[in-house]
Amino acid sequence: MAQNYYQKDIETMPVEDIKKLQSEKLVKQVKHVYENVEYYRKLMDEKGVKPDDIKGIEDLHKLPFISKADLRDAYPYGLLAKPLDECVRIHSTSGTTGRRVVAFYTQHDIDLWEDCCARAIVAAGGSKKDVCQVAYGYGLFTGGSGLNGGSHKVGCLTLPMSSGNTERQIQFMMDLNATIICCTPSYAAYIGETLKEQGYKPEDIPLKAGIFGAEPWTEEMRENIEKTLGIKAYDIYGLTETSGPGVAFECSEQTGMHVNEDHFYAEIIDPDTGEVLPEGSKGELVFTSLDKEAFPLLRYRTRDICVLSRKKCSCGRTLIKMAKPMGRTDDMLIIRGVNVFPSQIETVLLNEGYQPNYQIVVDRVNNNDTFDVKVELTPEQFTDKVGEVLAMEKSLANAMKTMLGINPSVHLVAPKTIARSEGKAVRVVDKRKLI
């Protein structure tokens, strides 16, 4: 298969040259961060590291880690490294325990992020001849804007559909001959099912490729999507904290995602000791933004469990590859593309006057995540009126939706009915078979 690249010089750069480039950028970045972000200066001083100690990428391990907790502590401006008047945009994650993470972007940051997304689109076979349907949500969520920007850079005709309204998605796809679709894999599967129900065969559908991310998905799901839509389905990885989708992307080989390591340096560490592990080891994925200006995170712990590989890739790219994340080091769930922590459910229950006796049940039905929360009723709350119990369920679901951004189905249950193992309640039952 003939290969196209968006930025060939970077994507196929010899490894030694990439290292050199990373070293130069890191030295500059550490100085920038130390001088402009008090929060980082404190962290580095506490660890006894000065910018002068960082002479190249091999010194990265000397720097302290930064975690989601730091991001929440520093909300909203504590990690900002540029004056606000040089920033042009924010994006945000779904709120965690009431506090969101807000990331800032200068025009330079937007440009490099969109370049990353453009590389992903070209690696999926995209060019200016393509019609790219962006069905990720637009707004605070990074998915829509990121792929929209990438699609512009490639020169595709961009359909900024945002998510939802499947009838309209299909109408535009068919009428305007969309050839590439970008959305969550579960939404792609749903669109595929809907097309099938409407009698469309894969060969009737103009799409040739899809770029899917923001939630975990399996090889089985890939096969299923590729079959129903008649396309090649490519994975994309990213997180709001580092910019958004496009930190890593899949190529024609479909065996892992190339990290855009001229912008984001990836490490694998032992989640318990923090020690950097050699290539090929399984551990926690850590990212360093090498040249982001406004919100440059150094050694950000993603909590994703992953493996990196420098094995030669048939696509010709020399960028290191990361496997699909194999799990999390914390109890975070990704449901319909949204990060959900059990602690958030607990907070809502306490706020609403319930005991924190609950169980989250996640499953995948027809390729869509189901999200059920069972909550034990207390004798004080119990009423003999069905309508009141149903209203309590509804009001709890609304409070959870406000906290999480997605709608759970709340089920009030009798006390002591939630399964306990060794006396400890089982808080999360994830029935999705993803790994």
- E strand or H helix that includes residue 253: none
**Taking contact as CB under 8 A, which single stretch among the options 80-88, 265-273, 305-313, 415-423 is the one that binds other proteins?**
415-423
Nearer to other proteins, 87 or 375 (CB): 375
Residue closest to 94 by CA, chosen among 408, 401, 430: 401
Q: Which of 47, 111, 415, 420 binds other proteins (CB under 8 A)?
A: 415
Taking the least distance from each CB to other proteins, the nearer of 1 and 386 is 386
Q: Segment 416-435, which members bind other proteins (CB under 8 A)?
A: 416-417
Asked whether 435 and 327 are in contact (CB, 8 A), the reply is yes
Residues 6+ apart with CB under 8 A from 294: 80, 81, 82, 86, 87, 104, 105, 106, 109
Q: In the structure encoding, which two tokens stand for residue 272, read together? A: 């318990």
CB of 365 to other proteins, least distance (A): 16
Which of 181/400 has CB closer to other proteins?
400
Report in angstroms how near the CB of residue 417 gets to other proteins at its nearest: 7
Decide whether 1 or 414 has the Cβ nearer to other proteins. 414
Q: How far apart are the first and last CA of the chain?
A: 29
Total binding residues toward other proteins, as defined by CB under 8 A: 16
In the sheet that 358-365 helps form, which strands lie side by side, from edge to edge? 409-413, 368-376, 358-365, 428-430
Using the minimum distance from each CB to other proteins, give the nearer residue, 83 or 415: 415
**Which token pair is 102?**
């807000």
CB of 244 to other proteins, least distance (A): 38
Number of other residues whose CB lies within 10 A of the CB of residue 328:
17
Between the CA of residue 378 and those of 292, 356, 383, 409, 412, what are the distances in Å? 50, 11, 10, 19, 10
The count of other CB atoms within 10 Å of the CB of residue 396 is 22
| 412 contributes a contact to other proteins by CB under 8 A | yes
CB of 383 to other proteins, least distance (A): 7
- Residue 421 beta carbon to other proteins: minimum distance, rounded to whole angstroms: 18
User: Shortest approach of other proteins to residue 367 CB, angstroms?
Assistant: 23
Give the Cα separation of 210 and 434 in Å (integer): 19
Q: Which residues contact 18 (CB under 8 A, 6 or more apart)?
A: 261, 262, 318, 319
| Nearer Cβ to other proteins (402/417) | 417
Stretch that binds other proteins, among 61-69, 273-281, 282-290, 407-415 (CB under 8 A): 407-415
**Selected range binding other proteins among 245-253, 256-264, 320-328, 405-413, rule: CB under 8 A:** 405-413
Omega before residue 76 within 30° of 0, cis: yes
C-beta closer to other proteins: residue 69 or 390: 390
Burial of 1 (0-12, 13-18, 19+ CB in 10 A): exposed
Question: What part of residues 342-401 is at the interface with other proteins (CB under 8 A)?
Answer: 377, 379, 382-386, 389-390
Say how far apart CA 295 and CA 290 lie, in whole Å: 11
Query: Between residues 50 and 394, which has the closer beta carbon with respect to other proteins?
Result: 394
Nearer to other proteins, 390 or 435 (CB): 390
Minimum CB separation from other proteins for residue 391, in Å?
12
Residue 327 β-bridge partners: 305
User: Which residues here bind other proteins, judged by CB under 8 A?
Assistant: 377, 379, 382-386, 389-390, 411-417
